[in-house]
Structure 1
Amino acid sequence: MHARIIRAVLALYPAAIRERYGDEIAELLATSDTPARDLVDTARCALRDRLTQRTEAMTVAQARIAGVTLIKLVAAPFMFGVLLLALMVTAGLAADVTGAHEAAPYWGTLAVALAVASMWWFGRWMAHSGPIVAATVVVPAALALGVAGINAVPRVGDVLGAVRAGSLAAVACWAVGATGLGWAVSVLLRRGRRAAAWLSGGTGALLLLDAVTAVYVFTALPPERAPRHNAPLWYLSTMSWWDPGLVDGAYRQLQDSIKMLPPVLTMCTVFLLAVVGVTASRSRLAT
């Protein structure tokens, strides 16, 4: 078995267990006759030990703080959406005041960019304000639950996609992909490989968001309306006002269907990476 894979799995263990049994576990994995199964079992045990260790050490006060943090994370997508709407309305008003209506798409794109960029600051602030247990799992799950909750509200949920089944499928895929992305970035940061962590994080985020946008379109729109060969352009189109007729051969038809889902999931992704960056760096300093 590849040494890098073994080291990545060992990184899941708490530091004390890793220092005491790491060499023994690595040797067993390296000489295993069933490497895939043993690797999965080892990863499962490592996550269980890490969660158990943190749970046992948690006081009542810490548990209360963790509960409040979880509620904040679930509610965060609603705040993201409000911020995005406020910026987009402001952009529209700016276009009206200046009379440059032809520049409205650029104002809208700027509003989305500002909303996404602000998530980096917000995520770092939240991570510094209190520890988040198992952030690479808890944060994506909580954010996905929040987005799904918004989507389930009648009328309000329509802002995250005209076809609810497509939105929920995209959110579910995002949660799984974001968990893997956060874990990969966390492992690299704990090893001190910051450049590799952020390069893979940025690239992985773009690929993930492109994929979940495609999941929505595949679920919500038939091929005759949204030709599948345009899939690489869907995410770019939904994040801007550029649309060469990707759906029904008409301008903005894709945006009218998917609405604010891609920008909100992009904000969630940037928020996740910011949180993981702080928590992983803190863990590395602690060890």
Structure 2
Amino acid sequence: MPANRSRLVHVVLALYPRRVRDRYGAEIAELLTHSPTPGRDLADVAWCALVDRGASLTMSHARPHLLRLTGLLAAPLAFGVALAALASVAVAVLGLLEGFGYRVGYRLADVVIAASVVPVAVGTVWMARRTGRREHIAAPIFVVPTALALGIVAVASLQYIGEALGETWWATLMSSLCWYAATFALATGGAALIQRARTGAAWMVMALGGVAILELTCTVYVLLVHRSYGLPSSSAFGAYPVVITGIDPGLVGAPAGQLAEALKGLPALLTVCTVFTLTLVITRAKRQHATPKSASAAPRTS
């Protein structure tokens, strides 16, 4: 049998549900292999496989996938609520210190409030690793950043709540699209490195690339809104580290307070979403890379 026909037969068989492949796969493959009209028969069998696949997709089978997708879409809102809650706690603690006579400077207050991102990011790492190990997400490299980007845009569209991500909706939209495209490309490259057993390089590329993506995204946002806030265009470059840390070393062409007012909660939310996405993708890629090894190492049974 020609190699091309063999590959096509395997592709067509893969369209069938597992129960059909297990029971009739060998018979269907045999018929297609010796068919005098392979093109027409492959097309007919492929159509039947798709019909059978659609008929087997009941609500009970689709519900877990819908729940996972809904969870991913709602994740940015949950992350945003957690960030806002921790920032409020930080402000309350600083207020208590002021009440007891301690002087809390504006710079220290900015750093403490910015530090509220850390526990949320740590929590998302745990959540992403747990999700990657226990939940099956089809095509996570595509699905996860897509769902999170849509969730960010949805949050930005909400009245009052969306203003916490920036008062210019279209700038948030463009920044989210930029984040999505760059994150998808980075996740694809990182997963490819893991498949080549270069996990250490994948972690390094993901970490450095994630920071670069966040800087790029914030740069795009500031460039789109800098005139509305009276900021020079040069302040867009290097805005992310200034806003996310609350430390202004004087490297950007605007005070940290003005940049924070322009970007609002967008850098913090994108940071958490980036950490979640890259951690989940790495976890899934490592799991998929280890599966063939585990299968080949298993003892054969007669």
TM over 0.5: yes
Aligned AA (2:184)? T
Paired AA for residue 278 in structure 1: T
Asked which structure has the greater CA Rg, the reply is 2
1:74 matched residue in structure 2: 73
* Contact 2:237 2:252 survives alignment (8 Å): no
Question: Closer, same or farther in 2 for the Cα pair 1:67/1:278, shift >3 Å?
Answer: same
Q: Is the contact between residue 195 and residue 286 of structure 2 (CA under 8 Å) also seen in structure 1?
A: yes
CA contact (8 A) 1:161 1:167 kept: yes
Measure, in 2, the Cα distance between the counterparts of 1:156 and 1:255. Answer: 17
Change (3 A) 1:251 1:277: closer
Q: Does 1:211 align with 2:198?
A: no
1:253 aligns with 2:258: yes
Report the CA distance between 1:257 and its aligned residue. 1.4
Q: What are the equivalent positions in structure 2 for 1:1-287 lying under 5 Å apart?
A: 60=58, 61-99=60-98, 100=102, 101-102=104-105, 103-222=108-227, 225-243=230-248, 244=250, 246=252, 249-287=254-292
TM-score (norm 1): 0.75
Aligned length: 236
| % identity of equivalent residues | 28
Residue 276 of structure 1: CA displacement? Answer: 0.6
Aligned to 1:192, what secondary structure does the other structure show?
Answer: coil
Q: Which runs of 5+ in 1 are unaligned?
A: 1-15, 18-51
Distance in 2, Cα, partners of 1:223 & 1:161: 12
Tell me the TM-score normalised to structure 2 length. Answer: 0.72
Structure 2 gap ranges (5+): 1-9, 12-48, 293-302
* Aligned equivalents of 1:210, 1:166: Cα separation in 2: 15
Q: Aligned partners of 1:256 and 1:105: how far apart in 2?
A: 12
d(CA) in 1 for partners of 2:220, 2:145: 18
SS at match of 2:290: helix
Pick closer, same or farther for the CA change 1:154–1:206 going to 2, 3 Å: same
Amino acid at match of 1:95: L
Secondary structure at the counterpart of residue 239 of structure 1: helix
Give the root-mean-square deviation of aligned CA atoms. Answer: 2.6
Superposed displacement of residue 190, structure 1: 1.8
